[in-house]
Structure 1
Amino acid sequence: MASVRDIARVSVRPSTNFHRRIKWMEGRTRNVARTRTGSISSCLVSNEKQKSAPTVSTDKLPLSTKTKEIIEREKRVLVGTYDRAPVLFVRGEGCKLYDVDGREYIDMAAGIAVNSLGHGDADWLKAVVEQANTLAHISNVYYSEAQVALAEHLVDSSFADRVFFANSGTEANEAAIKFSRKFQRYSRVSEEPLATEFISFSNSFHGRTMGALALTSKENYRLPFEPVMPGVTFIEYGNIEAAKKAIVPGKTAAVFVEPIQGEGGIHSATKEFLHTLRASCNDAGTLLVFDEVQCGLGRTGYLWAHKAYDVVPDMMTLAKPLAGGLPIGVVLTTKRVAAAISPGDHGSTFAGSPLVCHAALTVLKKIQEPSFLAGVTKKGLYLKELLSHKLSSNPHMKEVRGLGLIVGVELDVAASPLVDACRDEGLVVLTAGKGNVVRLVPPLIISEKELEQAAEIILRCLPSLDLAMA
């Protein structure tokens, strides 16, 4: 059976059907601080000689006094959990970011797939100000109209009957873990063994708290904190036979899977794989949980990523893009699962605040418009075609893959030198997988012109991969 990945993937080969000339917007100027002897200009040119033999400087952009100051202040007061890029962003507009020195960057990271409507969306800003002027927080001791309105819209727009609000993706997955265990206890016939274990997959990422971390496959994330939650079995992503054998009645409480893996390297499931998980879970009395924290809410060109596969889960977790930059996490669940949950079983002080929910409702309504989603699909196909056309001749290129605007460029070497070089030239991108994948998850509002500019910068920075190996 053909997979969504097979259908959506553009193979890495030269394209012959377009010759778009790339150039910066008329009147757009670059800050003089970016210009330096021997460096690549961040202006995009169409000169064939320059395109065929790009050069890249080994020099790094000098840090400004203000950036150095913030870096030093941060070291004195924050726990060192982040290996930050040496840049201080102070402003965003649409799909552009601006650092403290006024340099402009194309944002192809979107705050790790969070800023779905870009920076400073007028409708989002209006919703935030409107609610902040009225009521920002009351806790979950009381009723909230904004919370109910968002939940109603989520239910109307999905498979779900009930909604639970959290503050992040890892919190949403923690809640889904607890709900799975409680459901198995609630639905068990007294003589049956109690199913308490979980299945997750290779290349998975579900969060950094102790339960979600236990479902995350990367050992370097888990080992420093073991023992984490016991009872998790990892099997190969996409391995149908292994999945069938691993899902056991009276043992497996739930299966957690990302329809498209983001952090793991932009790997897409096949329809057959997800359908097999659904059937096996049904047979075993096991819950199927889709983690759409990164791939959900329009990023694939579908409102929910699993809609491309025609498979319905028992629960689905959401977070990153829903509130347009404000912290939110969501568990969508069927009535059958929700019936197992009682008052006091789980909760959160901040989750589902009026401020966040009102902003999230605005984001959801904009993204679910058919024309908006169609635009994401079109731009995603165009981005993969651009990358395939421009990068195919580079020996480090292995594959361009993804669906909609969650795209990965797999290399045969570490991607970090390319990511760093792109940032120096005005493009923000991420790594993924084992560090050998360039992850592109721009705001969903990005234009084709900005995608062209981004692809050209990546092309011009490819020599950084060889320089790093020299």
Structure 2
Amino acid sequence: MSYLFPTYARWEVEPVSAEGTYLTDINGITYLDYTSGIGVCNLGHQPKVIKEAVSKQLDHFWHVSNLFTIGQQEKAAQLLATAAGLEAVFFANSGAEANEAAIKLARKATGKTKIITFEKSFHGRTFATMAATGQDKIKLGYGPMLEKFVYVPFNNIDALKNEMDTDVAAIMLEVIQGEGGIHVGEQAFLQEVEELCKEYGSLLIIDEIQTGIGRTAKPFAFQHFDLTPDIVTVAKGLGSGLPIGAVIGKESLKVHFGPGSHGSTFGGNPVSISAAIATMEIIFNEIFLQEVLIKGEYLVSQLTKKLQNHESVKDIRGLGLMIGIEFDQPVQGLLQELRNEGFLALSAGENVLRLLPPLTTSISEIDKCVEIMKHTIEKTSKAAV
């Protein structure tokens, strides 16, 4: 009997150790891990520099509360804000908390209540972020949602224009929809979204929970599209596995998040902050990000070359090292077969296989990934005949 609520469809893999791009389970089986803890371990498992930073902080103090001035928080906030081209940061513990705070901030700053998000989006599982999510399956069984959220098709500017009015506090979006199937925003669409926000006095919130911290070969994915958001949320890759999230905003928003307006007991925990600083100092480096770009392009080119003749493969899409492979059928069976072959990947919706390798993965590991996938798809295709 398990004493855990069965909220996850857990794999039959119990890790005992992990290092770099590899994970070893209780049975001694070693896997090439292209999940990165669902886009969290961007520097791989147990990166030495992060471990050293965390160990150093553990020797000082673990927690004191946000009533104290914590110099490391200021350093982390400066790194984040500078990378995003913004000026103010609030630290939380997760992506859902960061998005929750962003929703509160947008409503408070504008005095408006309506927020537009997009079909197939995913913003979290708290009540506000669940309401913001454009997927009905996330909301089943929980009763009435928080009001004033409206959902429109992604990349459809006419549908968005039909919903815009003077009561819109914010438009909230992922520039690449992660959980919804790795759908990339079109540049013309995204830029027109920003213009609509300016026209109606609404804020532009960009959810970078999965796409941020180098995942797409820039510090933040919105930077591929020449956007200037009012609020950016980030989490997953920020702490290299330690729990941390953040809201990044414009200087003008500081007045709306004054003392008593929002808070978090553990937000900006010194241990997580130490991991975040060390992570950003590595990833927010132009040479490092250029290598991510090269590896991402190589991965897509090899997948396209090796898989394009398989009838079951409908599309290969993504940006940087955030790749989705769409099939003509559900991918859960394929994911199980890949695990049997020593390879870990994810789904993104029912028919999309998602690859989120560590940003530190090597070309030889990419080649190994592609060969395993090619072999496994061929084997499962033959078995289905």
> What band does the TM-score fall into relative to the shorter chain?
over 0.9
Aligned equivalents of 1:169, 1:233: Cα separation in 2: 21
Are 2:124 and 1:198 aligned?
no
Distance change in 2, residues 1:465/1:284 (3 Å): farther
Say which SS state the counterpart of residue 330 (structure 1) adopts: strand
- For residue 371 of structure 1, give the secondary structure of its aligned residue in structure 2: helix
Give the SS at the match of 1:350. coil
Instruction: Give the whole-Å Cα distance in 2 for the aligned partners of 1:162 and 1:378.
Output: 32
Question: d(CA) in 2 for partners of 1:361 and 1:140?
Answer: 18
Q: TM-score, normalised by structure 2?
A: 0.98
The yes-or-no answer on 1:391 pairing with 2:307 is: yes
Instruction: Write the letter of the residue equivalent to 1:206.
Output: H
Distance across 2 between alignment mates of 1:468 and 1:273:
42
Q: 1:467 to 1:327 in 2, by over 3 A?
A: farther
DSSP-derived class of the 1:410 partner: strand
1:261 is matched with: 177
- SS state at 1:321 partner: helix
- Structure 1 position 422 matched with structure 2 position 348: no
The one-character-per-residue Cα deviations of 1:287-328 (angstroms, maximum 9, x if unpaired) are 100000001111111111111000110000000000000001
Shift of 1:245: 2.2
Selected match of 1:444 from 331, 340, 359: 359
Deviations 1:336-393 (A, max 9, x none): 1222222111110001011111110000010011110001000000001111111111
* Contact 1:301-1:405 at 8 Å conserved across structures: yes
Q: CA deviation at 1:335?
A: 1.2
Instruction: From 239, 242, 253, give the equivalent of 1:337.
Output: 253
Q: Which residue of 2 aligns with 1:132?
A: 58
**SS in structure 2 of the partner of residue 290 of structure 1:** strand
Rounded to whole Å, the distance in 2 between the matches of 1:165 and 1:401 is: 32
Q: Give the TM-score of the pair, scaled to structure 1.
A: 0.80
Structure-2 separation of matches of 1:218 and 1:362: 35
1-side partners of 2:319 and 2:77: how far apart? 27
Partner SS state of residue 67, structure 2: coil
Would you say 1:245 and 2:162 are equivalent positions? yes
Q: Which runs of 5+ in 1 are unaligned?
A: 1-71, 186-194
Q: Which residue of 1 aligns with 2:33?
A: 107
Percent identity (aligned): 39
Q: What residue number does 2:68 align with?
A: 142
Once the two structures are superposed, the pairs formed by residues 36-435 of structure 1 within 5 Å of their partners are 72=1, 75=2, 77-185=3-111, 195-249=112-166, 251-433=167-349, 435=350
How far apart in 2 are the matches of 1:454 and 1:158?
32
Q: Distance in 2 between matches of 1:83 and 1:170?
A: 20
Which 10-residue stretch deviates more, 168-177 or 153-162? 153-162
Question: 1:93 is aligned with what amino acid?
Answer: E
Amino acid at match of 2:291: G
- Give the distance between the partners of 2:210 and 2:137, measured in 1 at CA: 21
Question: Could you tell me which amino acid in structure 1 is paired with residue 72 of structure 2?
Answer: A
For 1:137, give the aligned amino acid: H
Distance 1:171 1:285 in 2: 25
Matched residues in 2 for 1:134 and 1:361: separation?
Answer: 16
What is the CA-CA distance between 1:465 and the residue it aligns to?
A: 4.5
Q: Distance in 1 between matches of 2:82 and 2:154?
A: 31
For residues 175 and 162 of structure 1, the distance between their equivalents in structure 2, rounded to whole angstroms, comes to 13
Contact 1:318 1:330 in 2 (8 A): yes
Contact 1:417 1:468 in 2 (8 A): no
**One-letter identity of the residue aligned with 1:396:** S
1:232 and 1:146 map into 2 onto residues whose CA distance is: 36
Give the C-alpha shift of residue 467 in structure 1. Answer: 6.9
- 1:456 equivalent among 368, 371, 380: 371
Contact 1:110 1:118 in 2 (8 A): yes
Larger mean Cα displacement after TM superposition, 460-469 or 82-91: 460-469
Secondary structure of the 2:317 match is strand
Say which SS state the counterpart of residue 171 (structure 1) adopts: helix
Q: d(CA) in 1 for partners of 2:380 and 2:116?
A: 37
Q: Distance in 2 between matches of 1:334 and 1:175?
A: 14
Q: Say which SS state the counterpart of residue 123 (structure 1) adopts.
A: helix
Structure 2 CA distance for aligned equivalents of residues 228 and 341 of structure 1: 25
Bigger radius of gyration among the two:
1
Q: CA deviation at 1:468?
A: 7.6
Q: Distance in 1 between matches of 2:84 and 2:169?
A: 23
Q: Aligned AA for 1:447? A: S
Q: Which runs of 5+ in 2 are unaligned?
A: none
